[in-house]
A and B are shown apart, each in its own frame.
Chain A
Amino acid sequence: AQKVTQAQTEISVVEKEDVTLDCVYETRDTTYYLFWYKQPPSGELVFLIRRNSFDEQNEISGRYSWNFQKSTSSFNFTITASQVVDSAVYFCALVNQAGTALIFGKGTTLSVSS
């Protein structure tokens, strides 16, 4: 069975702090995709990144970076120099090899205060 665990329910930081959101996944498939989504207070789901199981290179996009480690089944997300606008719920998700559906973790609520 596929499963995504986001152990951090809530994180609070002060602006300009770095913060890492953890994601651990379970799958028996050799081919799969991992995603991160952001859900701001307005409620929509914003796509951040997709990574396939064969690409373990770290990704950096501005203040965002992702660390994918198959050995530990983790796909962690780091925000550098956090800003108030980063306050949101962040979801990690997994698609299995059959590609039938996106399976979400329960999310991490990030609160950034000024």
Chain B
Amino acid sequence: NAGVTQTPKFRVLKTGQSMTLLCAQDMNHEYMYWYRQDPGMGLRLIHYSVGEGTTAKGEVPDGYNVSRLKKQNFLLGLESAAPSQTSVYFCASSIQGLAGYTFGSGTRLTVV
């Protein structure tokens, strides 16, 4: 039982490049989330999904897109990376939003 797996773990991008972060969970959870963590800012919600085929914006959605084509996967896309998107990205899943959350180990993204 792997829980929540994020790939890649580290990535360096040049400004303007695009990339996709993958989050996969094997717990059959309905809810999935993408957060970003910046120094002194805590974790801020980017987008979330309450089920396959659904997505919604969180607190800081600009510059990101997401897709949930399969229940177990939640993809976070950066179409044109900017240095302001340098951050650590965490994915999480939950059976239902009030229950416990399982977090991935994070992806450290640097945009130069």
B22-42: CB near A (< 8 Å → 1, else 0) gives: 000000000101010000111
Q: Contacts A45-B90, A101-B58, A102-B33 given; indicate if A91 touches B42 (C-beta within 8 A).
A: yes
Q: How large is the interface on B (under 10, 10 to 19, 20 to 34, 35 or more residues)?
A: 20 to 34
Q: How far is the CA of A91 from the CA of B98 in the complex (A)?
A: 17
Interface of B is mostly: strand
Among B11-19, B44-52, B71-79, the stretch that binds chain A is B44-52
Does B64 reach chain A (CB closer than 8 Å)?
Answer: no
8 Å CB interface, B87-108 against A: 88, 90, 92, 96-98, 100-101, 103, 105-106
Interface of A is mostly: loop
Does A104 reach chain B (CB closer than 8 Å)?
Answer: yes
Q: How large is the interface on A (under 10, 10 to 19, 20 to 34, 35 or more residues)?
A: 20 to 34
Q: Contacts A43-B106, A44-B106 given; indicate if A98 touches B42 (C-beta within 8 A).
A: no
Does A40 reach chain B (CB closer than 8 Å)?
Answer: no
Partner of B103, one of A45, A98, A99, A103: A45
Q: Interface residues, chain B, CB within 8 Å of chain A?
A: 31, 33, 35, 40-45, 48, 50, 56, 58, 88, 90, 92, 96-98, 100-101, 103, 105-106
Q: Interface residues, chain A, CB within 8 Å of chain B?
A: 6, 9, 33, 35, 43-45, 47, 50, 52, 91, 95, 98-107
Ordered by A's residue number, 10 sampled pairs between the chains whose C-beta atoms are within 8 Å are A43-B88, A43-B106, A91-B43, A95-B98, A98-B97, A101-B48, A101-B97, A103-B45, A104-B35, A106-B41
**Interchain residue pairs A-B with the least CB separation, the first 7:** A99-B97, A106-B42, A99-B98, A104-B42, A45-B103, A104-B43, A101-B45
